[in-house]
């Protein structure tokens, strides 16, 4: 059975390639596209099953490949024979199936048959991280892979499978409902504690509404950070060395990828590119901690236009690629109500089951024995029994913010820091060191 193929290949190779396709394979060349805009239009019209694109196609990026994926078009990369740079560029864009431009008809036929066979064995409608299909832009193997597995394979060198990579790092997304429950405080200090426990960690500010990791650590908020990384990923030029330069080490074992300095710059954080960045951080650190935005709303009108930026794509993407999710709520009646409703909404998006963290726990807000009261309320209204409590200590937190340091540096003996250290220890499986005040030559644990 013939299949419809469209080409968007440089003039030097297009004629010979089309001749090979028409004479030596069973495919039907539906259109020879002169540019990317024409290719996307043809894909949107449903005329193409397979697109063959060259490495030098102008404006080809991950966002465009994401659009082809949405149109159920398989992508084959075509590179000049012997041009390893062009081949690597295609793979860095996430195209896993690549062929030299002078490939024989038999080789092309076998590749297309394999791709079609793989797709036929798998569900056609696999929904993904932001309401889109989870199939990757590269080829048939992408159709059932998770976002993190797909991107891990995409950044692998040519000829290297995902299984050949070192054990990938763990991504932890820190999310919470509206109302400033303390997402940034938890994310920053959790990352700091993981690094202090000997776990190389990358802290990512992916909050598109009010990211403030840079200010909290006294870093320049105009540093390129995450915006530059996603821009580089979209263009297929991001690798581990580039990401390492964009995420400087602020203390031993802790790298920081700062967020956008102004909320109006949210369109720069495109879903496909951000997914690639986050997955690449798995190779930069043992843990990646993401400070997410609060909103999980999906713009239904824009969701049908895969080229349109989505305000909450950064949060939805972060949750989708995460291995663990911490859901942070404030320990007061309003904060708990928002948390319960937010957890219901969180259950409708692609993300792991959350670990619930109740922050700013204090008796003045909920009454005596606050932890017991909060637990009883959440068991009753949300069925939550496993909770982590962080006490309220505004003076200590203010002191850390004033000096631009983490709690481990500003207040190592504080009760807040003790709880966050215990949480980090539990997440990474490394025993926490004994921390406390010295009195008369002895060490006592903080309460």
DSSP 187: H
Alpha-carbon gap, residue 325 to 175, rounded angstroms = 7
| Whether the Cβ atoms of residue 201 and residue 254 lie closer than 8 Å to each other | yes
Q: Write down the CATH superfamily of domain 170-445.
A: P-loop containing nucleotide triphosphate hydrolases (3.40.50.300)
pLDDT, tens digit, 9 for 90 and up, residues 354-389: 999 999 999 999 999 999 999 999 999 999 989 999
Alpha-carbon gap, residue 9 to 101, rounded angstroms = 9
The SS3 assignment for 445 reads strand
- Cα distances from 402 to residues 89, 219, 283, 399, 406, in angstroms, run 44, 13, 33, 5, 10
DSSP 344: H
What is the pLDDT, as a whole number, of residue 115? 87
Q: Does the fold of domain 170-445 match that of domain 4-145?
A: yes
Query: Residue 317: which of 376, 373, 371, 270 has the closest Cα?
Result: 270
pLDDT, tens digit, 9 for 90 and up, residues 80-96: 999 999 999 999 999 98
Where do the DSSP E strands lie in 349-441? 354-361, 387-391, 436-439
Residue spans of the domains in the chain: they are 4-145, 170-445
What is the pLDDT, as a whole number, of residue 3? 85
Alpha-carbon gap, residue 226 to 203, rounded angstroms = 11
DSSP 266: G
pLDDT in 10s for each residue of the chain, 447 residues: 578 999 999 888 899 999 999 999 998 999 999 999 999 999 988 888 999 999 999 989 998 998 898 899 999 999 999 999 999 999 999 998 999 999 999 999 999 999 877 765 544 333 333 333 333 333 333 333 344 444 444 444 333 333 334 578 999 999 999 999 999 999 999 999 999 999 999 999 999 999 999 999 999 766 779 999 999 999 989 999 999 999 999 999 999 999 998 999 999 999 989 999 999 999 999 999 999 999 999 865 455 555 667 889 999 999 999 999 999 999 999 999 999 999 999 999 999 999 999 999 999 999 999 999 999 999 999 999 899 999 999 999 999 999 999 999 999 999 999 999 999 999 999 998 876 544 343 333 333
Topology at the third CATH level for domain 4-145: Rossmann fold (3.40.50)
Structure tokens at 3: 């299949």
Structure tokens at 150: 């797909």
Alpha-carbon gap, residue 242 to 229, rounded angstroms = 8
Alpha-carbon gap, residue 341 to 356, rounded angstroms = 13
Does the pTM exceed 0.75? yes
pLDDT, tens digit, 9 for 90 and up, residues 418-443: 999 999 999 999 998 876 544 343 33
């Amino acid at each position: 059975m013939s299949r419809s193929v469209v080409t968007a290949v440089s003039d030097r190779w297009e004629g010979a390639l089309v001749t090979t396709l028409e004479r030596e394979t069973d495919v039907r060349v539906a259109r020879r596209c002169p540019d990317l805009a024409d290719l996307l239009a043809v894909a949107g019209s449903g005329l193409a099953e397979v697109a063959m694109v060259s490495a030098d196609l102008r404006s080809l990026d991950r966002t465009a490949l994401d659009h082809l994926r949405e149109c159920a078009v398989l992508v084959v990369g075509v590179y000049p024979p012997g041009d390893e740079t062009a081949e690597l560029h295609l793979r860095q864009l996430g195209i896993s199936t690549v062929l030299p431009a002078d490939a024989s008809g038999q080789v092309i036929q076998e590749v297309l048959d394999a791709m079609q066979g793989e797709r036929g064995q798998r569900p056609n409608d696999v929904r993904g991280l932001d309401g889109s299909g989870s199939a990757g832009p590269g080829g048939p193997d992408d159709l059932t892979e998770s976002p993190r597995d797909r991107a891990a394979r995409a950044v692998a060198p040519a000829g290297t499978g995902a299984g050949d990579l070192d054990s990938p790092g763990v991504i932890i997304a820190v999310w919470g409902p509206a109302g400033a429950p303390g997402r940034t405080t938890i994310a920053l200090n959790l990352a700091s504690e993981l690094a202090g426990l000997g776990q190389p960690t990358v802290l990512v500010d992916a909050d598109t509404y009010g990211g403030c990791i840079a200010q909290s650590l006294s870093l320049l908020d105009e540093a390129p950070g995450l915006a530059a990384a996603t821009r580089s990923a979209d263009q297929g030029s991001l690798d581990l060395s580039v990401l390492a330069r964009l995420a400087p080490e602020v203390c031993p074992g802790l790298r920081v990828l700062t967020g956008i300095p102004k909320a109006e710059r949210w369109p720069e954080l495109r879903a496909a590119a951000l997914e690639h960045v986050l997955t690449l951080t798995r190779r930069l650190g043992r843990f990646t901690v993401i400070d997410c935005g609060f909103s999980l709303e999906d713009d239904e009108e824009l969701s049908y236009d895969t080229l349109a930026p989505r305000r909450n794509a950064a949060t939805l993407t972060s949750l989708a690629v995460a291995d663990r999710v911490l859901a942070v709520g404030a320990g007061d009646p309003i904060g708990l109500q928002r948390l319960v409703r937010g957890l219901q909404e969180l259950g409708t998006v692609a993300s792991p089951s959350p670990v619930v963290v109740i922050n700013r726990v204090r008796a003045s807000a909920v009454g005596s024995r606050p932890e017991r009261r909060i637990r009883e309320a959440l068991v009753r209204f949300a069925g939550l029994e496993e909770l982590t409590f962080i006490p309220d200590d505004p003076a200590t937190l203010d002191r850390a913010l004033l000096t631009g340091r983490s709690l481990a540096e500003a207040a190592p003996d504080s009760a807040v820091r003790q709880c966050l250290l215990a949480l980090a220890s539990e997440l990474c499986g490394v025993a926490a060191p004994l921390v406390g005040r010295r009195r008369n030559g002895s060490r006592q644990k903080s309460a």
